[in-house]
Structure 1
Amino acid sequence: MATLTVTAKGQITLKKELLQHLGVRPGQKLHVDKLPGGSITVRPAETGRSIRDIFGTLRCEGTAPLSIEEIARIAEEGWAGRR
């Protein structure tokens, strides 16, 4: 168990080992839930990103988007070992 100190401003600093355990890096936000009995839980906050944010990130300059049919054909070739 880690012991933290509250500053005069009411702030605490999480030790490096705790941040590593949470998988949090500088600049990321934490979500804190108040629990009964004066306890809290701390976890990384949602990034707000969804799968929709990923679309278009792998597009190569000068290439047209693939149609559903083209994607299906490529997937079939991959599963058949021809790609």
Structure 2
Amino acid sequence: MTLRKELLAHLGVEPGQRIDVEVLPGGRLELHAEQATGTIDGFIGLLAGRSSHRASLRELQDAMTAGWAGR
């Protein structure tokens, strides 16, 4: 679906930002700009269901260490 620039501006959507769609009764939809990233609420569940792999605590620690080190 393509939305006109003025509709995106009305929703407060920035370039590259995602839009949340809520299904309402009576065949209606409610659109709004997705919440800004960078919060823990935005992060939790981000990758849920995308892989059957479950990381071990060691793998998580290694990933965090590499991230903080800029690798």
TM-score with structure 1 setting the length? 0.43
More strand by share: 2
Which has the bigger relative contact order, CA under 8 A and spacing at least 6? 2
Radius of gyration: which is bigger? 1
More helix by share: 2
TM-score with structure 2 setting the length? 0.50
